[in-house]
Amino acid sequence: MALSMDSDRLHEECGVFGIYDFDGNDVASTIYYGLFALQHRGQESCGIAVSDTKGPKGKVISQKGMGLVNEVFTQESFEGMKGDIGVGHVRYSTAGASTRENAQPLVLNYVKGTLGLAHNGNLINANELREDLAYTGAIFQTTIDSEVIAYHIARERLNTHTVEDAVCRAAKKLKGAFSLVVMSPRKLIGARDPFGFKPLCIGKRENAYILASETCALETIGAEFVRDVLPGEVVTITPEGMKSDTSLCLPREQEARCIFEYIYFARPDSRIDGVSVYAARIRAGRFLAIDSPVEADLVVGVPESGNAAALGYAMESGIPYGNAFVKNGYVGRTFIKPKQSSRESSVRIKLNVLSDAVRGKRVIMIDDSIVRGTTSGRIVRMLRESGAAEVHVRISSPPFLWPCYFGTDIPEQKQLIACSRTVEEIRQVIGADTLGYLKIDRLSEMSEGLPICKGCFTGKYPMEPPAEDIRGDFER
Amino acid sequence: MALSMDSDRLHEECGVFGIYDFDGNDVASTIYYGLFALQHRGQESCGIAVSDTKGPKGKVISQKGMGLVNEVFTQESFEGMKGDIGVGHVRYSTAGASTRENAQPLVLNYVKGTLGLAHNGNLINANELREDLAYTGAIFQTTIDSEVIAYHIARERLNTHTVEDAVCRAAKKLKGAFSLVVMSPRKLIGARDPFGFKPLCIGKRENAYILASETCALETIGAEFVRDVLPGEVVTITPEGMKSDTSLCLPREQEARCIFEYIYFARPDSRIDGVSVYAARIRAGRFLAIDSPVEADLVVGVPESGNAAALGYAMESGIPYGNAFVKNGYVGRTFIKPKQSSRESSVRIKLNVLSDAVRGKRVIMIDDSIVRGTTSGRIVRMLRESGAAEVHVRISSPPFLWPCYFGTDIPEQKQLIACSRTVEEIRQVIGADTLGYLKIDRLSEMSEGLPICKGCFTGKYPMEPPAEDIRGDFER
Amino acid sequence: MALSMDSDRLHEECGVFGIYDFDGNDVASTIYYGLFALQHRGQESCGIAVSDTKGPKGKVISQKGMGLVNEVFTQESFEGMKGDIGVGHVRYSTAGASTRENAQPLVLNYVKGTLGLAHNGNLINANELREDLAYTGAIFQTTIDSEVIAYHIARERLNTHTVEDAVCRAAKKLKGAFSLVVMSPRKLIGARDPFGFKPLCIGKRENAYILASETCALETIGAEFVRDVLPGEVVTITPEGMKSDTSLCLPREQEARCIFEYIYFARPDSRIDGVSVYAARIRAGRFLAIDSPVEADLVVGVPESGNAAALGYAMESGIPYGNAFVKNGYVGRTFIKPKQSSRESSVRIKLNVLSDAVRGKRVIMIDDSIVRGTTSGRIVRMLRESGAAEVHVRISSPPFLWPCYFGTDIPEQKQLIACSRTVEEIRQVIGADTLGYLKIDRLSEMSEGLPICKGCFTGKYPMEPPAEDIRGDFER
Amino acid sequence: MALSMDSDRLHEECGVFGIYDFDGNDVASTIYYGLFALQHRGQESCGIAVSDTKGPKGKVISQKGMGLVNEVFTQESFEGMKGDIGVGHVRYSTAGASTRENAQPLVLNYVKGTLGLAHNGNLINANELREDLAYTGAIFQTTIDSEVIAYHIARERLNTHTVEDAVCRAAKKLKGAFSLVVMSPRKLIGARDPFGFKPLCIGKRENAYILASETCALETIGAEFVRDVLPGEVVTITPEGMKSDTSLCLPREQEARCIFEYIYFARPDSRIDGVSVYAARIRAGRFLAIDSPVEADLVVGVPESGNAAALGYAMESGIPYGNAFVKNGYVGRTFIKPKQSSRESSVRIKLNVLSDAVRGKRVIMIDDSIVRGTTSGRIVRMLRESGAAEVHVRISSPPFLWPCYFGTDIPEQKQLIACSRTVEEIRQVIGADTLGYLKIDRLSEMSEGLPICKGCFTGKYPMEPPAEDIRGDFER
């Protein structure tokens, strides 16, 4: 469930945003609003880089910092940020330490001027590529994949006519998940890995084109959705139009979108590859009602991400949907736990139960996942203490059993409750009356038949996983 | 609706918290957690003051600052904050400018040592009392009512045996709303005005007693609810026990709780004077369904405060309840609107519509109030743009027509849409298909018969309002 | 010697500044510059308060904070600070804890509107006055003397026709040292205690009058010196002219200026009561050369305050004057000593010896005082390590033996090296070849015959000292 | 003259510091103290990077930021900074924009692990080298020369057995000025360009070796001076001992130290290549007294850097030396000039005249240089306004006429007063009675015969200057 900064959570890696305004308007503030809409995808650091396509070639102005969009940018940030093309990024670190050096976008100078890169996803051959580069004399100032990608673009650019060709050639060498936004002095380029792990969409507002991780960012800035970037596609946006290179695309059935975008990561008001995230969650709830029915008085979601599935369960079962929790929106990223404190539980600070809503009731509580089980157990206990007669837990995803190599920060297997326990044992641990998970074979229906990656449930990945753990440990 | 920091909103004045741990444990961190739970009552400034009842008499350590609890206090804040008795405060300014000088608790030295005061409410005779004091040589370093109250306690203390007697005597001179927490070197005192405008409750955790504006603060710190402070009561907490002085209490029927605590201010997981805020809102929704029925496909609340009434409407009408909105929890108090920006609407940043939930549907949208009408109009428009077939607005309070003198920050009458327009005209302004308000005569039922103040709807107040506007203009 | 923030130092209490521009120009920035020039008088906190004499009566805008002028004020500070009359203050705390609450100017509302007060000096009957006030119901929000003074002005104002009369009457009740600047809605008032412990002067720039602790502040803002406020005088500045009340003045021979202003506190480019601080120090050096001659090759001052006396010694003795030290100007107030560190001496960070200037030389080192002796010892050792053949220490003041009750922060007697040791013993402790102090009977000559207070050397004070230590311990 | 942050000044580029403690003690705090002693060499940004030679190979922890050492580092900075080898840097930007990205040390990962680099000086072929690298696919994330140097080390490392060999080979390709400190996982390396433009010395404290720009940093941390790194030398420090590679060294007469280190940049308590900076300045003053004598009553230096030369002038001429100025040490880097302000001169804030020292006197004022002439003119005027009868200006360097390509930030020629005016004309502009410069042929004597670079006076440089201006304009 979505208690921000909760350690008992899965985490997304990043959100990306790019824009090119052909009318020459400054874009920094639009990127800022767009990043607000993508903030749920990463809260550790963020950054904006802009350039003026009509100014001195390749002069890039950027600002990056640790913290939320709200914390990093001030009114003054925008005073010097003149430019009609730009990229933005929000980050949660899976690969690369959590330091300011690793904040994105990566801004660099290369043989043809400047580049700005923002990247979402995880490469599984980054270490290998990094080592190859090192053996030709490369130096690395960050531990993020974007730097490896940038090097490859820079090298391919020596032998290509255009930057987009260099991006295509570089992309061929990358294994893993990448949704990439690249800004060159006169072009905005978007690229998505052939499996389409991570989302990337195209929008338009008047004479400006936008690339963004999710459609909710388009709605927030008042842009209309044009289409998704295809898995494997490289799109190049210039005033002359939008060009597409689909040479990396795979047959559709080999695509493998990350199902967790639908289950939990993406905002419910986004659509990914044509499928509504909200509707997918409603469907997951309906499937739970069909596959794991139980008699009860009330269906509630653990806020925020459990709400849609709870509503789906209620619709399907006919059991009333309601709210059982009050979430404290003021408990932010920087919440500290004073050393004095011993008796106060930080879960209680973030979430309280509406006793009057649940007292005496048989409650079905829908959450999106169980990772370690500790938070789920605490919430079940809170419901009981508030007078719930029964607590039936339904999870809108199958149990996690395997690591993710493509950008989701899943704890190691020994910490995953489902790796060492049966569903019945988990039920006992969290103290629920009954417990039901979404069935794996419901996932395809959930995503309306879109090919998805189920690796974290099945251990079968769309590509050979790396032999060793690839999470970097180089720290500055 | 509850977009934080929205100018088109009503605002609460303050939240108060006090604790005395007879076992001598440090209380600063508990106050900190308690203030988190009360943060919705004031986001402009906050403060904590503690004292060690076993240390040098009346040494008080305090920290105050502008901003959220999260922003003002750091790990270091608590290092020096040793003390087993303390008070805390969160503030939104109605009287007194929004400056650090006006932050509470007020800490002072007087004839008998030190006092710490935290106050919620608005006195209507503060200027008069202030003037009287000035004519005896008093000096004022703030513009908050607490300073006036403190002066009166200090003066009465010259002729009383105990500080609680001084508080009682001082309270007799105060006209208006006050829920007060006072800390003296060895006593924790709570006082509530005879009308009971603002809430104040008593809790207990092991050997510690707590006073708090709302019961949700008790639950957050794991304390159990003992009882509410009675309207007009002064309670004195010492290791010897809890003493009550009810000499100011009025006959029950003269009490006049602020109905807006139930409608919007209080957290739904609080109970005030025995009445669940959540249940009161459910009832309000039910009354709307009875009194303003309409055929529709979906009932939704404007988050967060409209949700419970929406659920009540759905229960009563049988029309399904659902969610139509995604609220961006990352848009905080310090959100800036870059000057560059022109086309982005800040409402869109804060709230987006779940198109897939409302497309093609006849939607009943429940909000707690309409102040100026601008925000309501924008939300109705967003629903239509997202494909809602019809939008029926229902408001879980009657129309505002009159000023509040007791602590609610209602804009002047010319800005109140209901002062100059009929309900039909308001409907047109906000662009709804139909519009219905809660009927005034439903308010008593809503609060389970508790005597309430309806002044802002009727212009009839429980006490004579002041001749002139009392909102102070002395600024530092 | 003047290593800033050194604990082995005497500290001044405060600097005050006031200005009234009859042409209506904003004065906040001028106060800011003036406070820069007075920063040496207090580095703990500072503040500015301004008012517009042509605006709404008595509206005061103020900003205060912990730290240097440089740290507290930013470009934005001045945006809202409109006003043609104002007061400023820099503070080092002797009485009253070092907290933001105690920062000055004190801004308050009283029976006749508003007052702004800035105070330098120490009252010896503050506790007594405070207690008297408390017994009439006063409350105290700070522990600074200014609050006590303000109360008395407010009370006297009830029975006087003008604020200046109230200031005069209040001043009669104050025992001790005070140089006071008071701003009322239409008047700027300066007052100095009858002994004239602390300086206060009057300046003029075009159509603006200025009050300041030292003349260096006048020069900094480009104002011309008009005259000093007399000991015991109250001056009132209005557009109608400057009025003087000398009813508190004592016969000249009873005056008792603090000699430490000349020895160390004041800036050498200031003149106090007609006597140049620089010239006084030169004289002190000459007297040392006459009274404590020694054969040597070089005279050096411990920077900055020892330099002028060293020059005087050199002039009188004919021994060349030079520099022996490099002071690191970047070691500021916020210098931290990392816990890791063990071998680095913080004296070395602040001060290094110019080995090439002292190697093989017999050095006379002039300092303004020896408090505990530790710093002096370290500097003597540094000179020897750098190759000085002999180190002769001369101190431009007599030995401290007694406490100061009037605003100088002298450590308690057991920490004063001169209280328990003979001059010869001190010489051994600090490792000097010879040691000489200024003779007490030279002090009058040093100040050109101005009556001075020599209490800290003789134990004989111009007024009866308080029975107990008056340093407050009320902390917030 | 040395008014900090004065735009009418020459600026140094950087200071470097490195340490390797063979006993395994943490070195971060020692670097911190060392950087304090080098702060005069750069106030824009600073940084520290450390590594644990006994820990995981090549893990580097670094912290960098804009501002003074005092501002960037806090107590917490040192908590995680464990490591027995480290480098530090203070920076004033000549090449590369003033941004955090350009702060040093540069920390990077390359084929053999990690490197930390700190660099002082300016390469004249940096753009050329950068371009060459770009044509092999390099990417640049900063605009500082250190990145170019790092790339070359990384590339040479592919074909060398040791990192020090790679440094030597890389150094051969660099044209211009560099004093370099490099940290590899197990070695500390210092390198100085063959001309020896910038200083670099070696120190020792117990079992730790230190490299630093100036000897004052050694004294500050209590280390003893071992020797200077030779122009052209690469020294490698490991627990096995110190190794020297002198293959790049030139015949001594071709060396070309920057004379401005002696005139103004270096701290007077430093010795560079065996010559005391203090003594050099004394000599410069003596030469001025010999070559430009004048009858006068007082010799004064413009603080701080003019003081030693003034003393030399006084010694030689027999005219008394004294102080004429009070410098306000509280006016720091972040001093703001409020927009309100119009009449206050910021020179007056920083510097005031001791009227009592100069009144009626014929004053010889010694400064180290005249750049634009505006500041000198203002100070002469201030002396006259304070009553100086005559003001004779003597400059302890010859007139600037040419740009510096090696690390000194000299304004463009049209801004240099000496480029377009005769000495007599300059005298008139600054309003002096007489004006004298140091003669060019005195410079060699000043530096005791050490070969020096006089390019900025003569336009003749030790190497061919670049065809175009090399100051970078790539900004982020």
Alpha carbon distance B346, A193 (integer Å): 34
Best CA proximity match to B366, nearest among B437, B280, B419:
B437
Chain D residues close to C40, C-beta within 8 Å: 330
Best CA proximity match to D358, nearest among D393, D382, D327, D329:
D382
Q: Using the beta-carbon criterion (under 8 Å), do A269 and B348 form an inter-chain contact? A: no
Of C220, C334, C335, the CB nearest to D352: C220
pLDDT at A476: 30
How close, in Å, is residue A28 to chain D by CA atoms? 14
Alpha carbon distance A111, A115 (integer Å): 10
Q: Say if CB C338 and CB D75 are below 8 A apart.
A: yes
Of C107, C137, C147, the CB nearest to B154: C137
DSSP codes, D137-150:
T--BS--SHHHHHH
Q: Give me the long-range contacts of C409-418 (CB less than 8 A, separation at least 24).
A: C409/C10, C409/C11, C409/C12, C409/C13, C409/C92, C409/C94, C410/C10, C410/C371, C410/C456, C411/C371, C411/C372, C415/C371, C415/C372, C416/C371, C416/C372, C417/C370, C417/C371, C417/C372, C417/C373, C418/C370
User: In the structure encoding, which two tokens stand for residue D370, read together?
Assistant: 């005249």
Q: Is D14 a catalytic residue?
A: yes
Q: D407: number of CA atoms within 13 Å, CB side?
A: 32
pLDDT in tens, C134-165: 999 999 999 999 999 999 999 999 999 999 99
| pLDDT per residue rounded down to tens, chain B (476 residues) | 333 334 455 665 799 999 999 999 999 999 999 999 999 999 999 999 999 999 877 789 999 999 999 999 998 899 889 999 999 999 986 555 668 888 999 999 999 999 999 999 999 999 999 999 999 999 999 999 999 999 999 999 999 999 999 999 999 999 999 999 999 999 999 999 999 999 999 999 999 999 999 999 999 999 999 999 999 999 999 999 999 999 999 999 999 999 999 999 999 999 999 999 999 999 999 999 999 999 999 999 998 889 999 999 999 999 999 999 999 988 876 678 887 766 666 778 899 999 999 999 999 999 999 988 888 999 999 999 999 999 999 999 999 899 899 988 777 788 889 999 999 999 999 999 999 999 999 999 999 999 999 999 999 999 998 876 544 333 33
pLDDT at A334: 67
B320 touches chain A (CB under 8 A): yes
In this structure, are strands D275-276 and D271-272 parallel, antiparallel, or unpaired?
antiparallel
Q: ∠ at Cα A122 (A121, A128), nearest 5°?
A: 150
Orientation of helix B277-291 relative to helix B307-317, angle to 10°: 50
The residue type of C128 is: E
Report which DSSP code applies to D123. Answer: B
Looking at this predicted complex, what is its ipTM?
A: 0.90
Chain B residues close to C59, C-beta within 8 Å: 474-475
The residue type of C37 is: A
The yes-or-no verdict on residue D470 having pLDDT over 60 is: no
Alpha carbon distance D350, D382 (integer Å): 12
Q: B292: number of CA atoms within 13 Å, CB side?
A: 25
Of A137, A158, A476, the CB nearest to D107: A476
pLDDT at A7: 47
Q: Chain-wide mean pLDDT for chain D? A: 91
Q: Say if CB B251 and CB B208 are below 8 A apart.
A: no
pLDDT in tens, C78-89: 988 999 999 999
Alpha carbon distance D152, D138 (integer Å): 11
Q: How far is CA A377 from the centre of its chain?
A: 26
Chain B, 398-437: which have a CB under 8 Å from a chain C CB? Answer: none
User: In the structure encoding, which two tokens stand for residue B455, read together?
Assistant: 């002044």
Q: B155: number of CA atoms within 13 Å, CB side?
A: 16
Chain D residues close to A111, C-beta within 8 Å: 134-135, 137-138
Q: Using the beta-carbon criterion (under 8 Å), do A328 and B205 form an inter-chain contact? A: no
Alpha carbon distance B157, A274 (integer Å): 73
DSSP H or E segment with residue D65? strand D60-66
Residue of D nearest to A472 (CA): D59
Inter-chain contacts counted by CB atoms under 8 A, chains B and C = 100
Chain A residues close to B30, C-beta within 8 Å: 341, 343-344
Q: Say if CB D114 and CB D152 are below 8 A apart.
A: no
Q: Say if CB D13 and CB D40 are below 8 A apart.
A: no
Alpha carbon distance B352, A442 (integer Å): 29
Chain A residues close to D166, C-beta within 8 Å: none
pLDDT in tens, C339-365: 776 666 677 889 999 999 999 999 999
D169 touches chain A (CB under 8 A): no
pLDDT at D229: 98
Q: Say if CB B290 and CB B315 are below 8 A apart.
A: no
Confidence label for D91 from pLDDT (cuts 50, 70 and 90): very high
pLDDT in tens, D205-229: 999 999 999 999 999 999 999 999 9
Phi/psi class of residue A385: alpha, beta or left (left: φ > 0; alpha: ψ in -120 to 50)?
alpha
DSSP codes, A61-93:
EEEEEES-HHHH--GGGGTS---SEEEEEEE--
Q: By CB neighbour count within 10 A (0-12 exposed, 13-18 middle, 19+ buried), where does C56 fall?
A: exposed
User: In the structure encoding, which two tokens stand for residue B56, read together?
Assistant: 């040098």
pLDDT in tens, A300-318: 999 888 999 999 999 999 9
Orientation of helix D307-317 relative to helix D277-291, angle to 10°: 50
Confidence label for D276 from pLDDT (cuts 50, 70 and 90): very high
The yes-or-no verdict on residue C471 having pLDDT over 70 is: no
Alpha carbon distance A380, A426 (integer Å): 12
What three-state secondary structure class fits C303? coil
Q: How many CB atoms lie within 10 A of CB B347?
A: 17
* All domains of chain A in start order, with CATH: 14-254 (3.60.20.10), 271-458 (3.40.50.2020)
Chain D, 457-476: which have a CB under 8 Å from a chain A CB? Answer: 473-476
How close, in Å, is residue B126 to chain C by CA atoms? 14
Report which DSSP code applies to D395. Answer: E
Chain C residues close to B157, C-beta within 8 Å: 137
Which string of b and e fits D242-268 if b means at least 16 CB within 10 Å?
eeebeebbbeeeebbbbbbbbbbbbbb
Beta partners for residue B363, in sequence order:
B298, B391
Chain C residues close to B135, C-beta within 8 Å: 111, 158
Chain C adjacent subunits, 3+ CB pairs under 8 A: B, D
Longest dimension (CA), chain B: 72
pLDDT in tens, C167-186: 999 999 999 999 999 999 99
Give me the residue label for tokens 């943490």. D26
Q: Say if CB B16 and CB B190 are below 8 A apart.
A: no
pTM: 0.91
Q: By CB neighbour count within 10 A (0-12 exposed, 13-18 middle, 19+ buried), where does A333 fall?
A: middle
Q: Using the beta-carbon criterion (under 8 Å), do C137 and B143 form an inter-chain contact? A: no
Q: Using the beta-carbon criterion (under 8 Å), do D338 and C4 form an inter-chain contact? A: no
DSSP H or E segment with residue A171? helix A163-173
pLDDT at C334: 67
Alpha carbon distance D191, D228 (integer Å): 11
Q: Using the beta-carbon criterion (under 8 Å), do C344 and D33 form an inter-chain contact? A: yes
Q: Chain-wide mean pLDDT for chain B? A: 91
pLDDT at D472: 39
D110 touches chain A (CB under 8 A): yes
Q: Which residues in chain A come in under a pLDDT of 50?
A: 1-7, 470-476
What three-state secondary structure class fits B412? coil
Residue of D nearest to C77 (CA): D338
Alpha carbon distance D407, D121 (integer Å): 5
User: In the structure encoding, which two tokens stand for residue A94, read together?
Assistant: 């899976």
Active site residues of A: 14
Alpha carbon distance D365, D299 (integer Å): 6
How close, in Å, is residue C18 to chain D by CA atoms? 16
Q: How far is CA B274 from the centre of its chain?
A: 17
The yes-or-no verdict on residue D325 having pLDDT over 90 is: yes
Chain A, 178-207: which have a CB under 8 Å from a chain B CB? Answer: 205
Dihedrals phi, psi of A192, to nearest 5 degrees: -135, 140
Chain D residues close to C328, C-beta within 8 Å: 36-37, 39
End-to-end CA distance of chain A: 32
Alpha carbon distance A427, A422 (integer Å): 9
Residue A71 vs residues A33, A43, A278: alpha-carbon distances, Å? 13, 10, 29
Q: Using the beta-carbon criterion (under 8 Å), do A220 and B276 form an inter-chain contact? A: no
What three-state secondary structure class fits D444? helix
Find the DSSP H helices in C135-183. 145-157, 163-173
How close, in Å, is residue B210 to chain C by CA atoms? 22
Q: Mean pLDDT lowest for which of C103-107, C278-282, C373-377, D18-22?
A: C373-377
pLDDT in tens, B304-354: 889 999 999 999 999 999 999 999 988 876 678 887 766 666 778 899 999
pLDDT at A344: 64
Report which DSSP code applies to A263. Answer: I
Dihedrals phi, psi of A90, to nearest 5 degrees: -120, 145
For residues D297-304, average pLDDT: 94
Residue A413 vs residues A406, A422, B220, C11: alpha-carbon distances, Å? 16, 15, 33, 63
Of C220, C267, C356, the CB nearest to D276: C356
